[in-house]
Amino acid sequence: NFIPLLEDTGLVIPVGEWVLQQACLQGRRWQDAGHKSLNVSVNLSMKQFRAGSLLNSVRQALDESGLPPRSLELEITETVLVDDAEQALDLMHQLKKIGVTLSIDDFGTGYSSLNYLRRFPIDLLKIDGSFIRNLMSNPIDEEIVLSTVRVASRLKLRTVAEHVHSAAVYERLTELGIVYLQGDYFGKPIPLTEFFAAERKSVES
């Protein structure tokens, strides 16, 4: 309910800028605390992408936080690619010049074609959870995931599987060649103050 309300009122742009700024600041704090390899990922709405201020917002957030551009990943949806392809292509190239990582979120649920994967400067595909939830019982979902991994590999794109919820799904996805995974199997959302305590406990176990 919250995100659609922000979009309807136009507040998604200032709130999105604040989220971007806070994510970069927190990412820099983690790196300064010794976690140099940690990156932060921020979802962008279509309205942010259209607003015309995104490039400056990203530059400002990186400059003010001191976070290296390579440590920031920006997630966009397939809808952004098909809504205004030329404008999106130009903006994404400018973002890549800054040095950030670009990913397609919820891949497979929108209307983009393989042509977009070839044209756009994308680093990462996040396979939508709707294909992951029934992976063990639906051969079609598994085939879609496998096909996505194969195409991504040929295009030198990394893949992330979303909504991994069990050991069986985790094991099957790794067999299919997916290295990066996220979901409740690894841990549910937790307060910031508990993050590294939970990480240490996981490593020790």
**Segment 100-142, tens digit of pLDDT:** 999 998 887 766 567 778 888 999 999 989 899 889 999 999 9
Amino acid at 108: G
pLDDT value at 30 more than 60: yes
Per the CB < 8 A criterion, the answer to whether 64 and 21 are in contact is yes
Instruction: Return the number of other C-beta atoms located less than 10 Å from residue 33's C-beta.
Output: 10
Query: Residue 199 — pLDDT band, cuts 50, 70, 90?
Result: low
pLDDT value at 68 more than 90: yes
* pLDDT score of 204: 55
- Mean residue pLDDT of the chain comes to 89
Distances (CA, A) of 95 to 62, 86, 103, 110, 189: 12, 14, 12, 22, 29
Residue pointed to by tokens 């440590």? 71
**Segment 158-184, tens digit of pLDDT:** 999 999 999 999 999 999 989 899 999
**Mean pLDDT score, 40-62:** 92
Residue 174 CA to residue 73 CA, distance in Å, equals 23
